[in-house]
Amino acid sequence: MNLQESYLDLVVKTVRGFSPIPEYAQLDVDRTNLAKEHVKKLRSDFKGKQSGNIMVDMAISMGSSMLTKTWKKLNPVALTMCGDESINQLKEALATIYREDIPGDFIEAGVWRGGLPVIMKSYAHTQNDLNRKIYIADSFQGLPQDCSDPKDKAANLLLTPIQNLSTSRELIENALEYFNLMDDNIIFLEGWFKDTLHKIEADQFSLVRLDGDYYESTHDSIVELYPKLSVGGYLIVDDYNLPLGCKRAINEYRKKHHITEEIIKINKQAVYWRKEREL
């Protein structure tokens, strides 16, 4: 392993919480009592009837232990929920972009605690790339509550007690500062995608990563960003195979624009494809 690979490996381990920043400790929160109260509320709201969603029904029938484990999985003491497969695919995509000289900036729409933009920026750093911008788009208010898809509404029922996975811009800025990666090429787009993404000044992206979970968030992001993705660039969808509205938004867009590029599985939930032609 050369010096560049060692540096990137350390960044990845730190982002994932394996070589933690001391401040990560505050992210480890016991939500056992909160889960008990929420299951009690769900049982009261549905009065013994099924909710129509398997995840909500499981939480009601299995009790607070299931919900506590789910929340803990969604809130690791780290800057990303992504595992080896997603991070390795991101690194391979970045390597290909530089090897093939694919033009365009990087963007993630829906960044949570910013772990993957940190990896994107650190990779650019190993390439002595002083020009490529990293766009960090997020509401920093968690997932939207005014969703229309039934699956997304059900997810909201389970995530509302933990602020719908909200995080802070400051936490991401601090992580970038920790690695000395904060500069003018880091561009924050704070707000709902429907209000921010159409204002982006970038003409091209070589990598677009969508992690909006819900139908509207995914729809708004792919509509604004895919036309700017360079041929040969990567479109990565983190939530495609989760029981959420994300897949419907992606499939509708692909059908509308006759996109036939093969969807490649990364893991149980994430997929990607490389753009082969302009729309």
Domain ranges of the chain: 3-74, 84-274
Contact 81, 49 (CB under 8 A): no
On whether the CB atoms of residues 253 and 259 are closer than 8 A, the answer is yes
Which pLDDT band holds residue 249 (cuts at 50, 70, 90)? Answer: very high
Tokens linked to 9: 């490996």
Is residue 177 classed as helix, strand or coil in its secondary structure?
helix
Instruction: Using the structure block, give the residue that is written with the tokens 């049982």.
Output: 43
| Other beta carbons within 10 Å of 255 | 9
Q: What does the pLDDT read at residue 19?
A: 66
Residue 10 clears pLDDT 90, i.e. is over it = no
Query: Which range, 41-45, 166-170, 175-179, 221-225, is most confident?
Result: 221-225
Render pLDDT for 114-146 as a digit per residue (tens, 0 to 9).
999 999 999 999 999 999 999 999 999 999 888
- Class of the CATH-defined domain 84-274: alpha beta
The four Cα atoms 141, 147, 152, 157 give a dihedral, to 10 degrees, of 70
- Comparing C-alpha atoms, which of 173, 111, 176 is closest to residue 139? 111
**pLDDT (0 to 100) of residue 22:** 66
Distances, alpha carbon 136 to alpha carbons 42, 191, 251, in Å: 35, 11, 24
Structure tokens at 140: 């920093």
Question: 199: how many CB neighbours lie within 10 A of its CB?
Answer: 9
User: What does pTM read for this prediction?
Assistant: 0.91
- pLDDT per position as a tens digit, 192-224: 999 999 999 899 999 999 999 999 999 999 999
pLDDT tens across 63-110, in order? 888 888 888 888 888 899 999 999 999 999 999 999 999 999 999 999
